[in-house]
Structure 1
Amino acid sequence: MGEGHMIDCKPDKADRVDAAGLQAFVSRIVSDHEGKEIIYLCIGTDRSTGDSLGPLVGSLLEERGVAGVMGTLRIPCDANTLPRLAKTLPDDAIIVAIDACLGRAESVGLFLASRGPLVPARSVNGGFGAIGTYSIAGVVNENSLKPYWTLQSTSLYRVMRMAGEIADAIASAVARQASQYFKSNAERMGAYE
């Protein structure tokens, strides 16, 4: 198995952030791409505690009414479905790839936020290509010599907390953008009365 995780190798373009930093990162994405389609590609499986981060985020986003979600607990975007789903992504869409990863002990519980793609299943040699316009990788556990076992024994509580932080950041950024859009339209309409 081992669907969808990368090793925390601190790519040049990635910033290691906490929940507040993640909120700022997502807010910039949403405001920079106002009016464009944004797809939240939530990579992972519901069959591994550590690798369930993506599908948990996808399910939480659906519950919050966020549009453009691919990959949930009900329909995961895992090693079996990712190649097929990747082919269906619109060429002009902004893709925010969300995945779990293993990393250094001091990074566990933090996020790698990048203005660039991530490589799913890197830690278990999954052989997938890079995906995403932007990426969020949650460091769910410490890197080890046995990444598959480490993901299986990762704290569900930690994964759920991190999934909530990602979903909250995205949902609030989307809601804030919608609120600003409606406010500016209302002001514009008021100018014509």
Structure 2
Amino acid sequence: MEDGKEWPAAGVERKKLNGYELADFFLNIRQKHIRDNVTFLCIGTDRSTGDALGPLVGTKLVQLGFTNVVGTLKEPCDAVNLEARMTIIPQGQVIVAIDACLGTSGSVGFYLVSGEPLQPAQSVGGSLPAVGHYSVAAVVNVKGPKPYWTLQMTSLYKVMQMADEIADAVASAFGKE
């Protein structure tokens, strides 16, 4: 997902939020859905600094006591296994998809959120199925001519900081167990 020309897609309301505003996005979800009916789908790999955001968030959520989490550092949910990992999510669950993305320089460090599915791997030219009922795309770096290289060279500090903000916002909205 990227925040360039295609952002936002026609008819889809997406918002650009900072870390402080992120808790309100999750609180809105929490007010509509019971915690046990929400699954956090944390997309990415532990083999690329920029793309590790999803598994870092998933790991942090599990450490905070969340049980409905798919995608951690131990068991990533990435381009290779995304469709298979989706099959383990029980029918009727509300899915919040979380992934890293590339965007404009003014968007780095912000979150692109929506009440619509997330399109994984869009910013690197991939074609994976859209996933989730809600989506959070964390802009971890600037989109350039070599997106895989850019993700690989993304600041680990920035990615960890953003993963902490997402996990803290989820915990704030849904409560820690």
Give the TM-score taking structure 1 as reference length. Answer: 0.85
Unaligned runs of 5+ residues in structure 2 are: none
CA RMSD in angstroms, aligned pairs only? 1.4
Separation in structure 2 between the aligned mates of residue 97 and residue 138 of structure 1, nearest angstrom: 11
After TM superposition, the structure 1 = structure 2 runs for residues 24-173 of structure 1, keeping only pairs within 5 Å, are 24-34=24-34, 37-173=37-173
Residue equivalent to 1:190: none
Residue 52 of structure 1, CA deviation? 0.3
Q: Secondary structure at the match of 2:39?
A: strand
Q: Secondary structure at the match of 1:21?
A: helix
Unaligned runs of 5+ residues in structure 1 are: 1-5, 179-193
How many residue pairs get aligned? The number is: 172
Separation in structure 1 between the aligned mates of residue 59 and residue 88 of structure 2, nearest angstrom: 20
Deviations 1:36-57 (A, max 9, x none): 5100000000000000000000
Deviations 1:130-157 (A, max 9, x none): 1000000000000101100000000000
Structure that is richer in helix per residue:
1
Residue 87 of structure 1, CA deviation? 2.6
- The percent of aligned pairs where both chains have the same amino acid is 51
Which consecutive segments of 4 or more residues in structure 1 shift more than 4 A? Answer: none
Give the TM-score taking structure 2 as reference length. Answer: 0.92
Q: Secondary structure at the match of 1:88?
A: coil
Separation in structure 2 between the aligned mates of residue 84 and residue 60 of structure 1, nearest angstrom: 22
Compare CA radii of gyration and give the structure with the larger one.
1
